[in-house]
Amino acid sequence: MNTANPVILLVDDSEEILDYLSQDLTGKYEVRTAMDGLEALDILQHQPIHLVISDVVMPGMDGLALCSAVKSSPDLNHIPVILLTAQNALQSKIQGLKTGADAYIEKPFSLDHLYAQIDNLLENRLKLKESYARSPFLPINSTTYSKEDEVFWKQLTGVILDNLRDTALDVERIAVLLNMSKSTLYRKIKSLSGMSPSDVINLARLKKSADLMSAGNFRINELAREVGYKYPSQFRRNFQKQFKMSPADYIEKVRRAISI
């Protein structure tokens, strides 16, 4: 499925509510619907979903159980979840937040309020992706979105850095080291960073090379090997593309900064 709009999954046991929200959200978003938590999980496991909006009280798997399942799954826990409920008790809200819900909205609610929550969650995720892609010196794990994402990204970063000198390092190798399927790893990285695994590996190599240039007196060819490039020419080309200057120019810039 290819779509330019974010895909939202609506979960409610009321067809009337699903129809009402679907009609209002469709156009700005792509909308998928489910009538209980189990159906929602099946959709989440087979379709790319950017955000879940779920009622709390439903037969079978309710919204709290669904949210808990999403947030405890390495494959799904990057997906923001908004819970809707007619219950206004403080304890109910606390329960929802304990399951990892990103937002909690009481019924009846205004559509403007719902839109604001949706836009805020999606915009925050987009900003994180753009920040990571634009800021090559930003630590990899500082762009994560949630506690679960941070744990995953820290593990991913550790695996990449530990194997950075391996010129054959790729998504298949990382998937094995993280005990994940290749497809799950690709989907997770793409969702969190907006980049492919190969782009993330390449950026990690370039960040490390910049750190090494700032700290030591490496020759360009030595640097290339140190960060896992088989060919120095490829390293120079990628460095120029990422940093808008050659490795030699960057080294000279560092030397001038140190001498000031």
DSSP letters of 29-70? Answer: BEEEEESSHHHHHHHHHHS--SEEEEES--SSS-HHHHHHHH
Which range has the worst mean pLDDT, 61-75, 89-103, 121-135, 232-246?
Answer: 121-135
Question: What's the distance, CA 166 to chain centroid?
Answer: 25
> What is the per-residue pLDDT across 59-113, written as a single tens digit (0 to 9) for each?
889 999 999 999 888 778 888 999 988 766 666 677 777 788 888 888 888 889 9
Half-sphere exposure of 113 (CA within 13 A, CB side): 11
Count the Cβ atoms, other than its own, within 10 Å of residue 41: 19
Q: Quick check: 30 and 6 in contact, CB under 8 A?
A: yes
Q: What is the mean pLDDT of the chain?
A: 84
In which residue are the tokens 């497809």 written?
183
Q: Is the dihedral of CA 96, 110, 35, 86 positive or negative?
A: positive
Q: How far apart are CA 99 and CA 72, in angstroms?
A: 9
pLDDT, position 136: 41
pLDDT value of residue 70? 92
Q: Fill in the amino acid letter for 4.
A: A
Phi, psi of 104 (to 5 degrees): -140, 115
pLDDT (average), residues 217-243: 89
pTM tops 0.85, yes or no: no
Question: What percentage of the chain exceeds 70 in pLDDT?
Answer: 87
Which residue in this structure is represented by tokens 């309710």? 62
User: Would you state the pLDDT for residue 18?
Assistant: 93
Give me the pLDDT at residue 143, please.
Answer: 46
* Fold exhibited by the domain 136-259: Arc Repressor Mutant, subunit A (1.10.10)
**Distances from the Cα of 115 to the Cα of 21, 28, 93, angstroms:** 11, 10, 20
pLDDT at 139 over 70: no
At the second CATH level, the architecture of 7-130 is 3-Layer(aba) Sandwich (3.40)
Q: How confident is the model at residue 1 (pLDDT cuts 50, 70, 90)?
A: very low
DSSP helix/strand/coil, 82: strand
pLDDT in tens, 141-200: 444 456 777 788 888 989 999 999 999 999 999 999 999 889 888 888 887 777 889 988
Predicted confidence band of residue 137 (pLDDT cuts 50, 70, 90): very low
Domain spans of the chain, in order of start: 7-130, 136-259
